[in-house]
Amino acid sequence: MHTDSSFTFVLFGGTGDLSMRKILPALFEAHRAGGMLADSGKIVAVARHIADRGEYLQWVDGHVKPHVSKNGLDEAAWTSFLARIEFVKIDLGNPDDFALLRDAIQPMPGIRVFYLATGPSLFVPICHALAAVGLNQNSRIVLEKPLGYDLKSSNAINDAVGEIFAEEQIYRIDHYLGKEPVQNLLALRFGNALFEPLWRREWVESIQITIAEELGVEARGDFYDNTGALRDMVQNHLLQLLSIVAMEPPHSMDSDSVRDEKLRVLRALKPIDPQEIGKVAVRGQYHSGVIRGNAVPAYATEHGVKPDSSTETFVALKVEIENWRWAGVPFFLRTGKRLADRVAEIVVNFRAVPHSALGASALRAGANRLVIRLQPNETIRLYCLAKQPGEGMNLASVYLDLAFDRFFREAQMEAYQRLLLDVINGRLALFVRRDEQEAAWRWVEPILNEWQVSTKPPKPYAAGTWGPAAASAMLAQHGTCWLEEEN
């Protein structure tokens, strides 16, 4: 992913949490690696509460440096990275200030990237202000989630941004698509004759996709209480991962070929009948509990949350895909806050052998499974049965560990690093196209509407557990269980 392309990377929300924890550290890692960023490339931070470049560099040194020095910091690389950074003080609410930005970046060479690490309410005003000073030409714009509150508001944002930037200029980021195991999932499926013939209804019994968090809403109570887990995680991250898992082989890995196949999956999702939502969707809300020995409060008592809130902090769904490859195979999606562990993983449970001469253990569900773990550690493991040492034919579960670090000496890229390099280099395959986003919102909307008018409160679960019992009961009806409950 080396490039000689010159660029000007303009970071709106330059003092925000996302810039501090993810974007600037990712750019530094690309800079430190050498050759990934053109020497002439510049980073221009935009904020209104900082006076000048000197003060901003002090902020970066104090707030960003701790997030890049966990494994040791090359001070020479850090100093040269700071030399890339410029700063422009702008009040985003004042369109006239954008002339200052234009004048600052006009002499800088190369493609312009505008990264909107701001609230979605600022996306359209920023785009209009950029266009007013002619900065929408020869540029790319990156939009963070959430992009809208529902299908209507998402379309409104996309319509407004689309009047200013062409679709090929718009990069809707979903950082889960940049994770190394997701990339390796594509390599496993489409690069190996061993897996692709098994990747279908005849051999796959069920698939689970989990994104679980130990954290609560932290300081985002106001935001989260108006969002909820379905909007925050399912509509984007989980459905994007599902589309990657279930897609047909693309004819090539160019951006539209990959995204065309993902779109076909999203359009093939079985529509949810509002009358059936209670059978295929579980919503929960955490109560007080204990995580790693520490007492944590109930969601309803978090700062910024309404005491009588019915906002869901947990969602579990049964999803079906109506096509020949996946007809009849349930996909189980799960996400939540204040769960027992921080984990993101995809579990492909293969069907048991049709007849076993080796005993009942060879017939149990999930005896063969592929586990793609995205966090906290990134691994891919293939589980199978093997004979235990000793007398008799006693079977035990073992796994083949695809330990990429043993084969590849290069350090793994963080998701944001890969995606930011893709933006700079004009690669769209790992970004969400508008029609994908619309298809995801359209599928999710019946659930949103039903929960909005429902008088039934979310099912309670204690913080530090794996969510409401109803989520486990939903899988039990299909003769399976969540992977964490097997271990």
Residues carrying an active site annotation: 237
Name the DSSP letter for residue 269.
Answer: B
The alpha carbon of 243 is separated from its chain's Cα centroid by a whole number of angstroms, namely: 13
The dihedral through the CA atoms of 340, 341, 347, 349 has a sign that is negative
CA distance 463 to 262: 34
CA distance 369 to 267: 27
Structural contact between residues 235 and 441, judged by C-beta atoms closer than 8 angstroms = yes
CA distance 12 to 122: 10
Alpha helix positions (H), 85-179: 98-105, 123-132, 151-162
The dihedral through the CA atoms of 123, 128, 133, 139 has a sign that is positive
Structural contact between residues 201 and 223, judged by C-beta atoms closer than 8 angstroms = no
Query: Which token pair is 320?
Result: 């079906």
Structural contact between residues 211 and 238, judged by C-beta atoms closer than 8 angstroms = yes
The DSSP string of 57-84 is: HHHHHHHTGGGT-TT---HHHHHHHHHH
CA distance 307 to 412: 43
> Strand, helix or coil at 211?
strand
Q: Is the peptide bond before 146 cis (omega within 30 degrees of 0)?
A: yes
Query: Which token pair is 65?
Result: 């440096």
Alpha helix positions (H), 288-410: 404-407
State which amino acid sits at residue 158: N
- 241 Cβ contact partners less than 8 Å away, ≥ 6 residues apart: 176, 182, 209, 346
Name the DSSP letter for residue 86.
Answer: E
Q: Quote the crossing angle between the two packed helices 434-453 and 239-246, to the nearest 10°.
A: 130
Name the DSSP letter for residue 35.
Answer: S
